[in-house]
Amino acid sequence: MQQQLMESFVANFGEGGEIYTFFAPGRVNLIGEHTDYNGGHVFPCALTIGTYGIVRKRKDRKLRFYSQNFDKFGVMETSLDDLVYRKEENWINYPKAVIWAFKEHGYEVTEGFDFACVGTIPNGSGLSSSASLEVLTSKILIDLYGFQEVDMVKAALYSQYAENKFVGVNCGIMDQFAIAMGKKDHAIYLDTATLEYQYAPVELDGAKIVIMNTNKKRGLGESKYNERRQECETALAEIQKVKDIKALGELTEEEFEAIKEEIKDPIRVRRAKHAVYENQRTVKAVEALKNHDLTLFGQLMNESHISLRDDYEVTGKELDALVEAAWKQEGVVGARMTGAGFGGRAVSIVKADQIDAFVKNVGKEYEEKIGYQADFYVVEIGSGPVCFAK
Ligand code: GLA
């Protein structure tokens, strides 16, 4: 992978100078979905798959980009004097966004670079290829331009800022945080209201994390994502008229039930209910994992999917087909959609010796129902970004 990337780097940008290789992981969220912009908890982990980038500083202000995943665009060139969003520039808006976000926070890059990358996470499919590229760029800026005061929590925040303010997707902090702060074999229990976090060992007692890809691209997802966010904000404002809270994540299930009639629209009641219950489920799930109660952890994953399907309405027929097929299989601890939803991926925990049968049966049922194939990957939990070779 890296060898091939180095060859494309040299082919596109020539040899010589100081060339560095970086890696940033992708992430999967085990539970706590659509809670991160509601001041709730999330429980994601970084993966050993992610984005590799090879980079060399330049003496002028040019920025040149090449991605093996977007070979059709060839080398795209821009400059530090043109840090504005341009739709036609496609994927390079993400690294541009991060350079811009660093500048906005007082860390200005004054010399450009040549950059070639390749992602081992397919884009647009729910394992956060965009956040991976953002955090990768942050790590490059910190290491190559000497912005050592920017620690990895700040790098996550600047990357989120880049996505919110430059790309225009109103995402929460989960993806960037999970990627920037990843730790091998651990998930991150993050309180998104305070950014306090703990690492929890993921001990699955002979089971593995299996990602299921619907192969349905998100399409309308981004506008729907912003719509859900807006619905939660409106529900919160209605509750705030009678109760002094800052976020839906502050409420217990009982408190929510007692106050929910303040929300004047039945759809918004369901959206807010998901935000509150999903947060509480996440707290319970982390406790269950600590107590080695994998059965309860799995049940909570399943309940999370049901809530995302029925109350939050972000699953869609493809994710439901995968997850509902998964639930029926032997050796399945739990299964749910992961990430924003509207297509993309689901995550399941499956006993290792049952994985082959699982893939075969779920794959068959999915294809019969949906008309095309799903993909399955067994993934490992990895660490945060690194610069690992000169
Ligand atoms: C996307 C966003 C995250 C989070 C999830 C849903 O991945 O980028 O911030 O909101 O959706 O949990």
Q: Which residue has the tokens 């990357």?
A: 159
Strands 196-201 and 76-79: unpaired
φ, ψ for residue 38, nearest 5 deg: -120, 20
Catalytic residues: 175
Q: Could you tell me which residues are annotated as the binding site?
A: 33-36, 67, 124-130, 163, 225
- For ligand 1, say whether the CB of 117 is within 6 Å of any of its atoms: no
Q: Which residue has the tokens 């924003």?
A: 340
- For ligand 1, say whether the CB of 44 is within 6 Å of any of its atoms: no
Among left, alpha and beta (phi > 0; psi -120 to 50; other), residue 74 is left
Residue nearest to atom 8 of ligand 1 (CA): 171
What atom of ligand 1 comes closest to residue 32's alpha carbon?
12
* pLDDT at position 219: 57
Q: What is the pLDDT of residues 178-230, one digit of tens each?
A: 999 999 999 999 999 999 999 999 999 999 999 999 998 665 456 788 899 99
Distance (Å) from CA 111 to ligand 1 centroid? 33
- For ligand 1, say whether the CB of 336 is within 6 Å of any of its atoms: no
Residue nearest to atom 1 of ligand 1 (CA): 340
Among left, alpha and beta (phi > 0; psi -120 to 50; other), residue 190 is beta
Q: How far is CA 297 from CA 100, 182, 312, 333, in A?
A: 41, 21, 21, 8
Beta bridge partner(s), residue 191 = 41, 196
DSSP 19-73: -EEEEEEEEEESS-TT-TTTT-EE-EEEEEEEEEEEEEE-SSSEEEEEEGGGGGG
What atom of ligand 1 comes closest to residue 225's alpha carbon?
11
What atom of ligand 1 comes closest to residue 340's alpha carbon?
11
- For ligand 1, say whether the CB of 156 is within 6 Å of any of its atoms: no
Average pLDDT of the residues of the chain:
95
Q: Which of 33, 36, 129 to mutate to test the pocket of ligand 1 (most atoms within 8 A of CB)?
A: 36
What atom of ligand 1 comes closest to residue 34's alpha carbon?
12
* pLDDT at position 390: 63
Residue nearest to atom 2 of ligand 1 (CA): 171
Q: What is the pLDDT of residues 127-172, one digit of tens each?
A: 788 999 999 999 999 999 999 999 999 999 999 999 999 998 889 9
Q: Where are the alpha helices (DSSP H) in 262-353?
A: 266-290, 294-310, 316-327
* pLDDT at position 121: 80
Q: Give the torsion sign (CA, 166, 9, 153, 381).
A: positive
- For ligand 1, say whether the CB of 56 is within 6 Å of any of its atoms: no
Q: Please name the amino acid found at residue 60.
A: D
Q: Which of 225, 271, 281, 315 to mutate to test the pocket of ligand 1 (most atoms within 8 A of CB)?
A: 225
- For ligand 1, say whether the CB of 39 is within 6 Å of any of its atoms: no
Q: Kindly list the averaged pLDDT for each block of 10 residues, start to end, along the chain of length 390.
A: 91 95 97 98 96 97 96 96 96 97 98 96 70 97 97 98 93 97 98 98 95 80 85 98 98 98 98 98 98 98 98 97 98 96 94 98 98 95 90
What atom of ligand 1 comes closest to residue 36's alpha carbon?
10
Q: Where are the alpha helices (DSSP H) in the chain?
A: 2-13, 93-104, 129-145, 152-161, 174-180, 221-240, 253-259, 266-290, 294-310, 316-327, 355-370
Distance (Å) from CA 56 to ligand 1 centroid? 32
- What is the distance between the alpha carbons of residues 291 and 302, in angstroms, rounded to a whole number? 19
- For ligand 1, say whether the CB of 278 is within 6 Å of any of its atoms: no
* pLDDT at position 190: 98
- For ligand 1, say whether the CB of 76 is within 6 Å of any of its atoms: no
